[in-house]
């Protein structure tokens, strides 16, 4: 397999590169000249370019037989909504055009489980569910429109575009801290150890990368596949983080109103401190919803993710060693034996 991986220094892209190399594939890692490439394996071939530049993408995809498109921002702050959506669409369009230009017949791209929608009650959604799309953040709109472009252009150019829809993806290394890892960091930093109502599904970046390779082999063009693991209430997620880090809590449970008001205050404070708000109003609007999904469709192809707790063990093992957690916060953490066992079995240090 000759693969091009976009977003190769991102959380999922980096894992895809590693998995491909482990399988003996030749890998071109598309990176921007300004990217930190230190996290990439030394045997990956770096190609410099940008998904927003069509020509650079065409050149990068030369001699490849598949593209794994993992580039794209996952953020709830710091972007102009229109630019955010336009860039996601343009990037996807360029990837399909580059594939067509190089006669590549298969593109596996990362979408998100949020494109399925959410539910106001604790119910599990699948790829064909009609979830709620109330209060869509720009990120969700971008992902929905990205899917539409991929499938329509894929059909037009005869390219098998397959969408993987990961749930809340955690793990490391994660240079710019995606929102999912930020959720864990924010909880660890939170003095009040607050949780909130609603639920989510947590999956390891490692499993998402495995799933992308699986879809490259067995995925059906024009289809989307949810890649998740366990469905959890937020209070259980936060209790799990507390347990694994030897921290107390969670103490407080935030409702929608308090979340929204506090997020508004955080956003206001940004104009003084210039530090990214701990939470945003867009995120606050997601409080109380259930982002619970089934991965049965992918499981039918052989997908076997680790449990959400194991995903948290793996992610926290890396996060506590990273600069995303300050020394004073690290000093409050008393790691659970599960993290040591993970480190010893994987020799991660």
Name the minimum Å distance from CB 257 to other proteins: 4
Neighbours of 90 (CB within 10 A): 16
Residue 299: partners with Cβ closer than 8 Å, 6 or more residues away: none
Query: For tokens 């971008």, what's the residue?
Result: 142
Q: What is the CA radius of gyration of the chain?
A: 20
Give per-residue burial for 332-345: e unless 16+ CB within 10 Å, then b: ebebbebbeebbee
C-beta closer to other proteins: residue 251 or 340: 340
Residue 174: partners with Cβ closer than 8 Å, 6 or more residues away: 10, 11, 181, 205, 318, 322, 324
Among 157, 335, 336, 338, binds other proteins (CB under 8 A): 335
**67 and 41 in contact (C-beta within 8 Å)?**
no
Verify binding: residue 192, other proteins, rule CB under 8 A.
no
Residue 80 phi/psi, 5° resolution?
-80, 130
C-beta closer to other proteins: residue 6 or 263: 263
Among 288, 290, 297, 298, binds other proteins (CB under 8 A): 288
Name the minimum Å distance from CB 40 to other proteins: 19
Residue 38's SS3 state is: coil
C-beta closer to other proteins: residue 24 or 38: 38
Name the minimum Å distance from CB 321 to other proteins: 4
Residue 272's SS3 state is: helix
Binding residues with other proteins: total (CB under 8 A): 33
* C-alpha to C-alpha distance for 202 and 229, rounded to whole angstroms: 6
Residues 262-281 close enough to bind other proteins by CB under 8 A: 264, 271-274, 281
Neighbours of 19 (CB within 10 A): 20
Verify binding: residue 330, other proteins, rule CB under 8 A.
yes
Residues 202-261 close enough to bind other proteins by CB under 8 A: 255-257, 259-261
Verify binding: residue 191, other proteins, rule CB under 8 A.
yes
Helix (H) or strand (E) run with residue 349 in it: none
Name the minimum Å distance from CB 328 to other proteins: 4
Name the minimum Å distance from CB 132 to other proteins: 12
C-beta closer to other proteins: residue 130 or 274: 274
Chain residues binding other proteins by CB under 8 A are 191, 197, 255-257, 259-261, 264, 271-274, 281, 284-285, 288, 320-321, 323, 326-328, 330-335, 337, 340, 344, 349
């Amino acid at each position: 397999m000759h693969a091009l991986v976009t977003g190769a220094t991102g959380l999922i892209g980096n894992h895809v590169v590693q998995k491909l190399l482990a399988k003996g594939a030749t890998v071109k890692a598309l990176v921007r000249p300004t990217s930190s490439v230190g996290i990439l394996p030394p045997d990956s071939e770096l190609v410099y370019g940008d998904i927003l530049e069509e020509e650079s993408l065409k050149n990068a995809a030369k001699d490849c037989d598949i593209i794994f498109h993992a580039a794209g921002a996952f953020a709830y702050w710091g972007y102009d909504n229109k630019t955010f959506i336009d860039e996601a669409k343009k990037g996807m369009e360029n990837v399909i055009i580059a594939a067509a230009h190089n006669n590549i017949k298969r593109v596996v791209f990362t979408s998100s489980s949020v494109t399925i929608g959410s539910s106001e009650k604790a119910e599990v959604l699948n790829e064909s569910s009609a979830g709620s799309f109330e209060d869509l953040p720009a990120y969700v709109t971008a992902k929905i429109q990205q899917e539409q472009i991929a499938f329509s252009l894929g059909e037009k150019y005869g390219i098998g575009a397959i969408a993987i829809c990961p749930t809340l993806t955690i793990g490391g290394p994660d240079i710019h801290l995606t929102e999912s890892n930020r959720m864990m960091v924010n909880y660890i930093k939170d003095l009040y150890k607050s949780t909130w109502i609603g639920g989510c599904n947590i999956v390891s970046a490692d499993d998402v990368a495995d799933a992308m390779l699986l879809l490259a082999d067995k995925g059906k063009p024009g289809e989307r596949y949810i890649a998740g693991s366990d469905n959890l209430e937020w209070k259980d997620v936060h209790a799990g983080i507390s347990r694994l880090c030897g921290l107390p809590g969670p103490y407080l449970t935030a409702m929608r109103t308090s979340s929204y008001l506090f997020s508004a205050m955080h956003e206001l404070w940004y104009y003084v401190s210039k530090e990214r708000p701990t939470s945003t109003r867009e995120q606050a609007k997601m409080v109380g919803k259930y982002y619970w999904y089934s991965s049965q469709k992918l499981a039918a192809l052989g997908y076997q993710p680790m449990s959400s707790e194991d995903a948290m063990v793996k992610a926290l093992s890396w996060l506590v060693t990273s600069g995303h957690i300050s020394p004073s916060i690290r000093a409050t953490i008393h790691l659970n034996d599960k993290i040591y066992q993970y480190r010893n079995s994987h020799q991660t240090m």
